[in-house]
Copies of this chain bind each other. A is one copy, B any other.
């Protein structure tokens, strides 16, 4: 079988899907990234069903989104994905986001780890030898995700408790719900005057329903570092670059 190195999914942003700015939210974009990655993996024969046979499955480990602008109300947009590379521990999957008229409006980098659901340990990806054939040399012009340091001297600390509707079929907090929780650290009027130009998140440990977590925020100019943690350590770290709306 000739493995298709690229895969594109066309979408349309409906009114019901828009955020208060009449645009696509970062969390809906993250949801689409997971969807498109899953669809391409299915085509390549390393999808949910293929992996589940061995009780393995893909887990999103890091996500970096860099957008010139987000798709807006009633806009057709597309995500094109390809695999940049992989090693024993993880696979790097990139995406290009296009708006209507085919203009490029953003790029995405994501890092996926295959885990054994029984042992919760990573699966050695070098055992899937033919995965090498799926690598594409298409460039992804956004910077790789850097090291995400702990938020040691937060400007703000808030407490939070994830709830029933945040939990997914693995009985952990849904990857997308961490993003909503982080975005909710700012009020609506802040988003009326600021856009997100880069959003990075690293998933370290899973959170559960009803367990209290702390959110630490450190702001430095247009850059905000966020850490979600509990008594046992880091759950998630994120970094957001905000831009003043009039400066776009």
Which residues of chain B come closer than 8 Å to A174, judged between CB atoms? 16
Q: A163-B184, A184-B163 are in contact. Are A168 and B209 (CB under 8 A)?
A: no
- Provide the bound-state CA to CA distance between A184 and B161, in Å: 11
Interface 1/0 per residue, A165-208 and B, CB below 8 Å:
10111010010000010011011100100000000000000000
Interface 1/0 per residue, A1-45 and B, CB below 8 Å:
000000000000011101110100101000100110010000000
Which residues of chain B come closer than 8 Å to A48, judged between CB atoms? 15
Which residues of chain B come closer than 8 Å to A15, judged between CB atoms? 48, 169
- Judge whether A209 and B180 touch: CB under 8 Å: no
- Provide the bound-state CA to CA distance between A238 and B34, in Å: 33
- Judge whether A20 and B188 touch: CB under 8 Å: no
- Judge whether B167 and A188 touch: CB under 8 Å: yes
Which residues of chain B come closer than 8 Å to A167, judged between CB atoms? 19-20, 188
- Among A16, A167, A174, A180, the most chain B Cβ lie within 10 Å of the Cβ of A16
Which residues of chain B come closer than 8 Å to A14, judged between CB atoms? 35, 38
Which residues of chain B come closer than 8 Å to A34, judged between CB atoms? 16
- Judge whether B169 and A184 touch: CB under 8 Å: no
- Provide the bound-state CA to CA distance between A48 and B210, in Å: 39
- Provide the bound-state CA to CA distance between A22 and B167, in Å: 10
Q: How far is the CB of A57 from chain B (nearest CB, A)?
A: 9
Q: How far is the CB of A55 from chain B (nearest CB, A)?
A: 14
- Judge whether B20 and A164 touch: CB under 8 Å: yes
Q: Is A157 interfacial (CB 8 A cutoff)?
A: no
Q: Is A151 interfacial (CB 8 A cutoff)?
A: no
- Judge whether B20 and A171 touch: CB under 8 Å: yes
- Judge whether A169 and B22 touch: CB under 8 Å: yes
Q: List 14 A-B contacts (CB under 8 A).
A: A14-B35, A15-B48, A16-B35, A16-B38, A16-B168, A18-B168, A19-B168, A19-B169, A20-B167, A164-B188, A165-B180, A165-B184, A171-B188, A187-B210
